[in-house]
Chain A
Amino acid sequence: MTRSTATPRAPSRPGSEIPVRVWQVLATPRWVGLTLAAVLAVAGCVALGYWQFTRTQDLLAAERAQASVEAPLLEVAPDPGPLDGAAIGRAVLASGVYEAVGQRLVAQRLNDGGQAGWWVLTPLRLDSGGTLAVVRGWVADGPVAGSAGAGGAEAARAGPAPETGAVTVRGRLQPSERFYGASAQRTDAALTRIDTGELTDLWGPDVRGGFLVLGSQEPAPGPGAPQFIAAPVVAGGGGGFPWQNAAYTLQWVVFAGFAVVLWFRWLFDDVRRARRGQETGPAAHVGAPG
């Protein structure tokens, strides 16, 4: 920037001020240039911030896309033990036969509308061996009254009966619900959580870790079947949330703010100096390159 003066300079005397308007300073070539530079700086910062914002969105979308690519169960979770972190939330498909006698209701579960009811949990004997716990959906009605107590096995069969014969299930994997201590014992034989350890006691030692929340099924469930529930989609396997790009987005916005603040500080400093008859523009007395 070249040095220029806003107004005809007069030697300043104490108590006297030269009447200089802000627009008179703004109209000088120096300030036209500085204003243009400030506008360009803000536009540049906003553009770069927007670019980082789209980068963040793209990375998140790529993660979601990766999480929703459907794969056979044994590819996503080859180990029948507890679910790997990367397998949680993944979309899988598996084939087998439901075992109606092992079906249980899980108490105090909401449907997607937030209505309280029961989840229907059915063991699926897999064609590839092993048993997969499948949440077939949500029902409003619990175990049939009167069948509890001595007839616990009757109550245990509560809930719509599953399809007989071979089925292919598609859905999302969820981890075993082993959050608290021992689960509460209920007189109606319903479960309070889906815990692989407890299911092993019920269904045998070949129960796989975690469970599947059913999203679709072939053949399609008939009328009266449990309502499907949405399983949480968890992005996994990638680098996680793109903190770097998200932070850069915010930082570019801050830089744009810096440009505006500096413009104002310099402008009003120059106005003040012009009113006192001092020279405006960069000072030569300190910190000058040399």
Chain B
Amino acid sequence: MPAPIRAALTRYRVMAYLTGVLLAVMTVVGLPFKYVFDGQATWYAIGWVGHGWAYVIYVGVALDLAFRLRWSLVRSLLVVLAGTIPFMSFVAEHYVSRDVRRGYDDPTPVEGPAQSADRGRH
């Protein structure tokens, strides 16, 4: 796997975990705290604002990876949206990492000028 792709994948994985953990904590602990127990605390607002900015970075690094791997728009959007659903960013991270690794460990060489003609349409 080329070093820039590896780095982009690592950035994406770190942010997927961070965003996922923050979102999980805020939905599993934060929402019942506010709406079931009528709690009011500073950490609640800080948690959501923190998750918001973590998600912004997640989207940034995910789109960067999408560009480098030349994902389709639909696939890029699905990965980006996965960060908004609790626990889905873990699932997305699993499949993205698996597919990227599989793509590079595949015995067929990475696309070069010679291959482009016989690859044809998909």
Chain A contacts to B: CB under 8 angstroms:
1, 3, 9, 11-12, 34, 37, 239, 243-244, 247-248, 251, 254-255, 258, 261-262, 265-266, 269, 276-279, 281-290
Contacts and interface: CB of A to CB of B under 8 A. Distances in A.
Of residues A1, A239, A277, A289, which shows the largest number of chain B Cβ atoms within 10 Å of its Cβ? A289
A285 B75 CA distance: 14
A9 B118 CA distance: 12
Contact of A258 (B52, B63, B71, B99): B63
B49 A37 contact: no
A282 to B, nearest CB: 4
A286 B116 contact: no
B122 A284 contact: yes
Given A34-B73, A251-B56, A290 B99 contact: yes
Contacts of A258: 59-60, 63
A285 B52 CA distance: 33
A243 B49 CA distance: 7
B59 A266 contact: no
Contacts, number: 89
Q: Which 3 A-B pairs have the closest CB atoms?
A: A286-B103, A283-B70, A282-B72
A256 to B, nearest CB: 11
A9 B116 CA distance: 10
A262 B40 contact: no
- Majority secondary structure, A binding face: loop
A9 to B, nearest CB: 7
Contact of B117 (A11, A262, A281, A289): A11
Interface string B20-59: 0000000000000000000010000110110011011001
A97 B110 CA distance: 91
A154 to B, nearest CB: 52
Contacts of B104: 286
Contacts of A269: 67, 70
Interface in B89-122: 96, 99-100, 103-104, 106, 108, 110-111, 113, 116-117, 119, 121-122
A286 B30 CA distance: 38
A287 B74 contact: no
B10 to A, nearest CB: 15
B53 A278 contact: no
A266 B67 contact: yes
B72 A247 contact: no
A281 B63 CA distance: 15
A286 B122 CA distance: 13
A262 B71 CA distance: 12
B69 interface: yes
Contacts of A265: 67
Contacts of B99: 286-290
Given A3-B121, A244-B48, A287 B69 contact: yes
Nearest to B5: A286
Contacts of A279: 116, 119
Contacts of B55: 251
Given A258-B59, A287-B103, A282 B45 contact: no
A276 B113 CA distance: 8
A37 B113 CA distance: 30
Contact of B96 (A247, A248, A287): A287
Nearest to B74: A1
Nearest to B55: A251
Contacts of B121: 3
Nearest to B97: A287
